[in-house]
Amino acid sequence: MSLIEIKDLKVHYPIRSGFWNRVTDSVKAVDGITFNIEAGETYGLVGESGSGKSTTGKSVVGLEKVTSGSILYQGKDITQRRNRQLLDYNRDVQMIFQDSLSSLNPRKRIEDIIAEPLRNFEHLTKDQEKLRVLQLLDIVGLDADALYKYPHQFSGGQRQRIGVARAVATNPKLIIADEPVSALDLSVQAQVLNFMKKIQRDFGISYLFISHDLGVVRHMCTNIAIMNRGRLVEVGTRDDIYNHPLHIYTKRLLAAIPDVNVSERAAHRAMRQKVEQIYQSNRHDYYDDTGEAYPLVQVSPTHSVALPPELAHQLLAQESEAQD
């Protein structure tokens, strides 16, 4: 049994209009997605802005109402459970947000910010609580004098580490990390990601790692789902997605990874132009008549793509020929 199983999840927001403010349409932010996260793994959910990643993350953590589908945690559907029954789930599943300045209360000291989940879920004495907060600060590499400071007294990277400390306070099993490093400089990104990896190793945590950037998730994730306008267009292992991408949307995301290696810039630019040209001229091959993504078809035990089956297998054959 997987740690968490998301099955045919839909989150539709009603659009109201007219004099009577009636529901006339809906935004299909998440439109029937299915994936599983195993204990101890980092699962990547990647797509452009507006593709529905945050809505997915928020529904998993219980911050967004689910329209239909199920979220099975350790085999039990949490969308069907009442508040009291959700207590364990709320302790076990935590979230790290992108914008640490607005997600950490500016009027609270770090001690109180990190202790908040402990106060909600554990019954510790004052001394036990302080000791635990000090341990958590140590885990994310911050000194004890951070206890009495306020969020604005820290750099972006340090604040993100405080967010990580708060998220791990209750020994969660799953952390939803929504663009946890997007607001940080490259060097600081690496530092925060390393802390996240270390904590994962030490405590056996799973992450749902949400990002718009396939470059960032590359060294974090074992499995990756690519999301496009509320649907999954490709799902696979890291090797499937980075070395054998099939959907044009995945290829565009890969081409958008910024160049680090100066000597490869020209080749990379040519590749980006080629992908863009295929996308512009053959876009209709990859989406149905209404412009929606096709249902996923499995092309290997680990790899699925949202394409008509013949095209999926044809592209797979071309891909393996090119590799030989």
Ligand X SMILES: Nc1ncnc2c1ncn2[C@@H]1O[C@H](COP(=O)(O)OP(=O)(O)OP(=O)(O)O)[C@@H](O)[C@H]1O
* Minimum distance from residue 55 beta carbon to ligand X (Å): 3
Q: Which is nearer to ligand X, 12 or 268 (CB)?
A: 12
The token pair at 98 is 């992108």
* Minimum distance from residue 51 beta carbon to ligand X (Å): 4
Q: Which is nearer to ligand X, 229 or 251 (CB)?
A: 229
> Which residues form the interface with ligand X (CB under 6 A)?
13, 27, 29, 47, 49-55, 212
* Minimum distance from residue 74 beta carbon to ligand X (Å): 25
Q: What residues contact 111, with CB distance under 8 A and at least 6 apart?
A: 130, 133, 147, 148
Q: Which is nearer to ligand X, 30 or 299 (CB)?
A: 30
For the chain, report the end-to-end CA distance as a whole number of angstroms. 37
Give buried/exposed letters for 288-319 (b at 16+ CB in 10 A, else e): eeeeebbebbebeeebbbbbeeeebeebbeee
Q: Which is nearer to ligand X, 90 or 182 (CB)?
A: 182
- C-alpha span between 116 and 90 (Å, rounded): 13
* Minimum distance from residue 169 beta carbon to ligand X (Å): 25
Where do we find the tokens 């790899």? 303
Q: Which is nearer to ligand X, 200 or 228 (CB)?
A: 228
- C-alpha span between 221 and 71 (Å, rounded): 21
* Minimum distance from residue 230 beta carbon to ligand X (Å): 7
Side chain identity, residue 180: P
